[in-house]
Structure 1
Amino acid sequence: MEGWKKDWQPMMNAIGKDFSDGEKIWGADPVEKGAIRRFLEPLEFDCPLHYDKTVADEYGYSDVIAPYSSLLTWTISAHWNPGEKIFTSSERNAQPAHNPVGGVQTDLEPQTAGFFATDIEFDYLQPVKVGDWLCNNGNVLLSCVPKETTVGRGAFLVWESSICNQHGEEVAKMRIGTYKYNPHTTKMEA
């Protein structure tokens, strides 16, 4: 195994470990009826379960439900809070000081400069209603595959978390794939 790949061995050894330390990451805001409507507008998503409480009641829901496709809208923590600076460096390719979609950080992986999401998958277990406040529980490492790509050397990682509402009820399971890497420094490396 090449030297840079060996740097990922501690992560490969940690497959199955939950890196959350029990911390729950809450979405920035509770699910709001107006925000659901704004989500529906550009999609012209005309399903009365998402905007008409009477119809939602007729089908057994206690309130308007959010489209399953909007789940991430309600689970991502705030990108910015009053008094914070998002970017603390003006360097090219600078990353935000805090990035709620920046992936799980561990002390087992080598330092990387780049990151992007590769895929996402959900198991929807129950509807999300107006007033629900969602959180991510757990960050279980499912896989770590070191690989050199045209953008650099790094590893493909897959993480799983449980999405729960304010009552502790699981509403979905989420698996997200990422690629963490160090960019090639010259075109010859690519």
Structure 2
Amino acid sequence: MTETVTGETPTEVDDWKQEWQPVVDAIGRDFSDGEIQWGADMVERGSIRRFTEPLELDCPLHTDPVAATEHGFADVTMPYVAMMSATIPEMRGPGEVLFDSDDRNAQPARSPINNEGLGIGPKTTGFIGTDIDMDFLRPVVAGERLGRKSNRLVACSPKETALGRGAFLKWECDIVTEAGEVVARQRTGTFAYVPRHKGESV
């Protein structure tokens, strides 16, 4: 038995999923066009300290340059869980407007971590992160700068949820240093969707 949304035929239900087929066909494509997205700042001792202090993380590799060098590192190391934050570009430049609306739930006009559109498939306005996992290849030390290289689409599953119609997407990227060394691999799940109207049933 085929379950449908009230007032819609099975064909109409299938049509919105077909709009995602170009995205499904693009699985394996790198949407970065080879461009590396660099973090706004270099990793430095102060940012490592500010990250570890509220966690009361006392590992000397993160706090003591002497201990770090004795263990073969050029400087103190960044905790693995902080690595992703060092890849995020600046949100706003001088003179730019970041929030162009004073609505209660207003979102920034642009963000390096939101849905900027794929250029293929349906246009969506809703976007959430669903999961993330990372493989760490080596620690990052103070003085290095990190960036995200590649933005490979590895999965696309159209789905209708209580939020709306859209697709669960899985992306993969490499975290690299300015020297080009891959220090981690990151996989991120997202749900891009068209929000459901208030009172509309699934």
Superposition TM-score, scaled by structure 2 size: 0.89
Give the 5 Å matches for 1:134-153: 134-153=146-165
* Residue 195 (structure 2) pairs with residue 177 (structure 1): no
Measured against aligned partners, the alpha-carbon deviations of 1:56-113 in whole angstroms (never above 9, x if no partner) come to 0111111100000001120011111111111224456543221111145311121111
Do the aligned residues in 2 keep the contact of 1:27 with 1:133 (CA within 8 Å)? yes
Q: Percent identity?
A: 49
* Residue 107 (structure 2) pairs with residue 95 (structure 1): yes
Distance in structure 2 (CA, Å) of the matches to 1:184 and 1:105:
19
Partner residue, 1:81 = 93
Consecutive unaligned residues of structure 1, counting only runs of 5 or more, are none
Give the 5 Å matches for 1:1-190: 2-90=14-102, 93-103=105-115, 105-190=117-202
Distance in structure 2 (CA, Å) of the matches to 1:91 and 1:57:
50
Distance in structure 2 (CA, Å) of the matches to 1:90 and 1:52:
45
**What SS does the corresponding residue of 1:78 show, helix, strand or coil?**
coil
Distance in structure 1 (CA, Å) of the matches to 2:22 and 2:103:
30
Distance in structure 1 (CA, Å) of the matches to 2:190 and 2:102:
25
Consecutive unaligned residues of structure 2, counting only runs of 5 or more, are 1-12
Change (3 A) 1:60 1:36: same
Distance in structure 2 (CA, Å) of the matches to 1:58 and 1:42:
26
Do the aligned residues in 2 keep the contact of 1:88 with 1:96 (CA within 8 Å)? yes
Do the aligned residues in 2 keep the contact of 1:24 with 1:137 (CA within 8 Å)? yes
Do the aligned residues in 2 keep the contact of 1:17 with 1:140 (CA within 8 Å)? yes
Larger gyration radius, structure 1 or structure 2? 2
**What SS does the corresponding residue of 1:5 show, helix, strand or coil?**
helix
> Matched residue pairs, number?
190
Two-structure CA RMSD over aligned residues (Å): 1.4
Measured against aligned partners, the alpha-carbon deviations of 1:143-177 in whole angstroms (never above 9, x if no partner) come to 00011111111100000011101111110001100
Distance in structure 2 (CA, Å) of the matches to 1:92 and 1:3:
34
Distance in structure 1 (CA, Å) of the matches to 2:94 and 2:51:
25
Do the aligned residues in 1 keep the contact of 2:43 with 2:86 (CA within 8 Å)? yes
Distance in structure 1 (CA, Å) of the matches to 2:124 and 2:81:
31
Distance in structure 1 (CA, Å) of the matches to 2:21 and 2:74:
49
